[in-house]
Chain A
């Protein structure tokens, strides 16, 4: 494994820094062997895994140790790249944007500090995984329900801080953060929200500060290290009904969105509705080679043949309603009537009542699972994926436009098209999946070229991504170009003021401190 040092740090200084870290947190938690470095590389990187290598990793076990690590990093000017559990697969895993940074692995801090079942919230540390919290809540009697992403292997906090998305009414995870304890770039401590008052009882209940509100400033950001976080949890509903409907044609997504959006905006549907395209369904039945034996993308005629053969729609919409049985029944009638105006397709109904077992991978009931990681089996080999993830208004004109642009570019680059639309409110998160075999450099380059062009074409049409892989953090930041990139300038002013040495996660989301600005790709 190749070794990289932090920029402008000599081998001797680096050695001294590691020795100081070892004194502060114990030598067992300073991880710097070749094997360690490899475990923190991005195994899903579109390109060599050595592209984004850290120089080492450090894993503090307490808030005080985090503070000490930050002080030492400032002393030696060794940048830290903070991760919670570091399972950010598709967006860079645990690897740093600036090679040579030291991964600050917060995974050892995994206390669930409290759960309040009455008011519906918990206070957690970074290392708490979705499974950890799920099991904890179940052992308490299951009065509260989580919201989980497709990959349940990661950290509840890490996912929320990276603007992660789940599929329950609490699925916009960052919006459920309330009150954090943060180590600042100088090693000092800050509590946000009502928690800024020592001993305040509403620290995790009221979503604002007295004065400017800073919680969101620490999401997708490099301005602090979150050591604990209040997160609101939904009371487990009495019952829930899932309505599932196959939607035959690609262009039908237009009326589907126009049918669902008013129900979502009015609050009748309160979950984030996930709508995947056919590839998601067919990959359950087999892998790519079972359906199409050529390297070229599966052509439209073959897609139509497959949909017919396996009795699948181009899309599948699965909506979930939550609440008391009578309420759910009444809501279901409204939803069914709205769909009946558009289609005769059968609507499947699947009831769940409190106390019933849940499907083992039902993210819409907040059940964590890692099974979706199998998705890669579709392409075969050592598989990986990227998501191109623009946000578009929840209206047919915008959604159909985005679909057409993506489809045309996928066709141009001869790649199988797989997209999903998740209605999260007045907007839709459109995830375009790009799957590849890591050991086929030509395919990987093709995917990268496609990704580059998706960014440009989508920006020209007036849309931007909500989150992206390390490789495009600068490019996507540049698409937010109002006022000659006023936002980038503002981010840099704040960054330089709070973090003069540029110690915390340089380059995260395209925000570069003065010390490392020459590494920005602009």
Chain B
């Protein structure tokens, strides 16, 4: 069966598998069913880092997202395990590095404004992504 091509891109990731957790509906890949963020003052975010990461970064950085695809290729070429393409699995990111990439962009990733992710939200995301650091 031929997979129709769209804009020249096809799904490059399959080894991670799509965790379909939403019951009663067709299973959606995680990057199309991001966590919700509770309402509140976004300058002192009431949300958790995981919720914020999923909601604001999940467009690209959950399973099947564009960022995951790009990182997958890069990391496998470096001989690293494919799971490390998911930022949430990383143990080597620092808060400063995360803030730098978010605000300055990197490679195909554009800079992220403080409307998309406030400083308070960014700090929580960084805390989440560094939670398993040794």
The answer to whether residues A86 and B8 also contact, given A357-B27, A370-B65 and a CB cut-off of 8 A, is no
Those of A371-428 within 8 Å (CB) of chain B: 371-378, 382-383, 420
B5 contacts A281, CB within 8 Å?
yes
Among A38-46, A112-120, A252-260, A503-511, the stretch that binds chain B is A38-46
Q: Is the interface of A mostly helix, strand, loop or mixed?
A: mixed
> Bound state CA distance, A378 and B8, in angstroms?
10
* Residues from chain B with Cβ under 8 Å of A367 in the complex: 32
Taking the closest CB of chain A, its distance from the CB of B15, in whole angstroms, is 14
B6 contacts A363, CB within 8 Å?
yes
Taking the closest CB of chain B, its distance from the CB of A249, in whole angstroms, is 18
Those of B100-121 within 8 Å (CB) of chain A: 103-105, 107-108, 110-116, 118
> Bound state CA distance, A216 and B47, in angstroms?
38
Query: Within 8 Å of chain B (Cβ to Cβ): is A483?
Result: no
Query: Within 8 Å of chain A (Cβ to Cβ): is B29?
Result: yes
Taking the closest CB of chain B, its distance from the CB of A236, in whole angstroms, is 10
A372 contacts B110, CB within 8 Å?
no
Interface size bucket, B side? 35 or more
Query: Within 8 Å of chain B (Cβ to Cβ): is A350?
Result: yes
Those of B1-16 within 8 Å (CB) of chain A: 1-12
- B1-41 interface bits toward A, Cβ cutoff 8 Å, 1 = contact, 0 = none: 11111111111100000101010011111011110000000
Q: Tell which of A135, A372, A378 touches B6, judged by Cβ atoms closer than 8 Å.
A: A372
Please name the residue on chain B nearest to A86 by beta carbon.
B113
A138 contacts B25, CB within 8 Å?
yes
Interface size bucket, A side? 35 or more
- A342-356 interface bits toward B, Cβ cutoff 8 Å, 1 = contact, 0 = none: 000000101000011
Q: When A and B form their complex, which 6 residue pairs have the shortest distance between CB atoms, in order from nearest?
A: A280-B8, A318-B4, A372-B7, A39-B111, A39-B113, A348-B2
Q: List 11 A-B contacts (CB under 8 A).
A: A36-B113, A105-B113, A131-B31, A284-B9, A357-B28, A370-B65, A371-B9, A371-B12, A371-B69, A374-B66, A377-B70
B residues adjacent to A (C-beta < 8 A): 1-12, 18, 20, 22, 25-29, 31-34, 42-43, 58-60, 64-66, 69-70, 103-105, 107-108, 110-116, 118
A residues adjacent to B (C-beta < 8 A): 26, 28-29, 31, 35-36, 38-41, 43, 57, 59, 85-86, 89, 93-94, 105, 107-108, 129, 131, 134-135, 138, 141-142, 150, 152-153, 242, 244, 274, 276, 279-284, 316, 318, 348, 350, 355-364, 367-378, 382-383, 420
